[in-house]
Amino acid sequence: MSELSKRIGEYLTKMNLNYNLIEEKGQFEIPYKIEGHDHCIMVSIVGKWVSIRAGILQPDKAPKGKEIELYKLLLLSNHTVPEVCFDMDDQGYIGTSQEILTSALTFDVFEEEFFAIPYAISHFWTKIMPKFK
C-alpha cells in the first residue's frame, strides 16, 4: 500500500466512514445511503490526482424523452451550486466527481471534496429528479 493510500485510509477512518480497500484496483469503496438510494463512493489515486466519484443514475433509468432537459439541469447545477460537479461516463451513466492534486492532499481538503459527493447526490435526488415525476 502506498503512502497516499495509507493517508486516505486514515482520513476515512477519522471521518468515521466504513470502507473497503480493493488493493488490486488501488481503490477505496465507501457504501453510502443517500435520499433512500444506495450508492458507492469510490476514492482512487490516478497519477497525480486523488479521484473521488460515485455513480448516480443508470442510462436506462433516465426519464424517457426528457434526457436533454435532465442534462440541462445537471449543467445548470454545475454552474450554480457550489461544489457540485455532475458528469457522465462513456456508457451514459450519470455520476458526480471531485479531484484533488496529490500535492494538495490534506485532511481538510479531502474532507471538503469527499462530502461534496453525497451533497451532489442529495441535490440530484431532491432538486433535479422531482422535476420529472
All domains of the chain, ordered by start, with CATH?
3-132 (3.30.1460.10)
- What is the band of 26 on the pLDDT scale with cuts at 50, 70, 90? confident
Going by C-alpha positions, the residue among 36, 37, 73, 71 that lies closest to residue 54 is 37
Kind plus residue range of the DSSP H or E element containing 99: strand 94-101
CB within 8 A of 8, min separation 6: which ones? 28, 43, 45, 50, 110
Q: Which residues 6+ apart lie within 8 Å of 98 measured at CB?
A: 51, 52, 53, 83, 85, 113, 114, 116, 117
For the chain, the average pLDDT equals 96
Residue 24 pLDDT exceeds 90: no
Cell triple for residue 93?
Answer: 451513466
> φ, ψ for residue 22 (rounded to 5)?
-100, 90
pTM of the model: 0.94
Which residues partner with 46 through β-bridges? 49
Q: Is the pLDDT of residue 36 over 90?
A: yes
